[in-house]
Amino acid sequence: MRTQISPSLMCMNLMEIKQQLAVLDTRADFLHIDIMDGHYVKNITLSPFFIEQIRPHTKVALDVHLMVEEPTDFIEVIAKAGADYICPHAETINRDAFRVINQIRSLGKKVGVVLNPATPVSYIHHYIHLLDKITVMTVDPGYAGQPFITEMVKKIEELRDLKARHGYNYLIEIDGSCNQRTYRTLLEAGAEVLIVGTSGLFNLDDNLETAWDQMMDNIEQAKGALRESA
């Protein structure tokens, strides 16, 4: 499967948002939008209004990550704003997971779930077959630029093996420290979608087109190393 790329828009240069969206619109598979409420994590980033503002300017799927304590307060408004994927944290929905999944589906949106580093795959066992995407946090949520948590490799492998064994359709997505140092490890473990932020994309070069090309070169080098070791 081709590796899919999801740039994290909270890491982009918001002073050049129109130009950078134009670059990403012809290259990215998803645009990753973090919604933080200042409670679930001690940070506040993008908003439903941000989704509404960029929706007319891109054809790329908008993938919304809800780092909020009460996802149901946001689901309908971000759906109306133009989200394509709505992805709450498993820890915030397990008391009413099936109701939340049904709500997202009823709005015509894809359903994702995000797993914190300390949350096992077994936590979502009873509804894993209903998911379009599972995001493995390889850093603790809330801030960009944190170090990669190596223990998450086994979680990615577990999701890969479950998907193959049962024929599940979810995408395996990685959020946190996706960059030249981790690409080989992540791809070997079974990662299918890479969320790239400062270290993986935006800080590689001031020119986003050049930065994108450098990122793709880094990913291809990682794939080449895997082929050589096979």
How many whole angstroms separate alpha carbon 26 and alpha carbon 208?
12
Q: Is 38 annotated as a binding residue?
A: no
Q: Is 167 annotated as a binding residue?
A: no
How many whole angstroms separate alpha carbon 31 and alpha carbon 195?
9
* Active-site option among 84, 175, 205, 206: 175
By CB atoms closer than 10 A (0-12, 13-18, 19+), residue 33 is buried
* Active-site option among 34, 63, 84, 132: 34
H-helix segments, the chain: 17-25, 48-54, 75-81, 90-93, 97-106, 152-166, 183-189, 208-229
Q: Is 129 annotated as a binding residue?
A: no
Q: Are 191 and 163 in contact (CB under 8 A)?
A: no
Q: Is 122 annotated as a binding residue?
A: no
What radius of gyration do the chain's Cα atoms show? 17
Q: Is 197 annotated as a binding residue?
A: yes
How many residues in the chain?
230
Q: Is 108 annotated as a binding residue?
A: no
Active site residue 175: yes
Active site residue 217: no
Q: Is 34 annotated as a binding residue?
A: yes
Q: Is 29 annotated as a binding residue?
A: no
SS3 88: strand
Q: Is 198 annotated as a binding residue?
A: yes
Q: Which residues are annotated as a binding site?
A: 32, 34, 65, 142-145, 175-177, 197-199
Catalytic positions, please? 34, 175
Name the binding residues for substrate: 65, 142-145, 175-177, 197-199
Indicate the annotated binding residues for a divalent metal cation.
32, 34, 65, 175
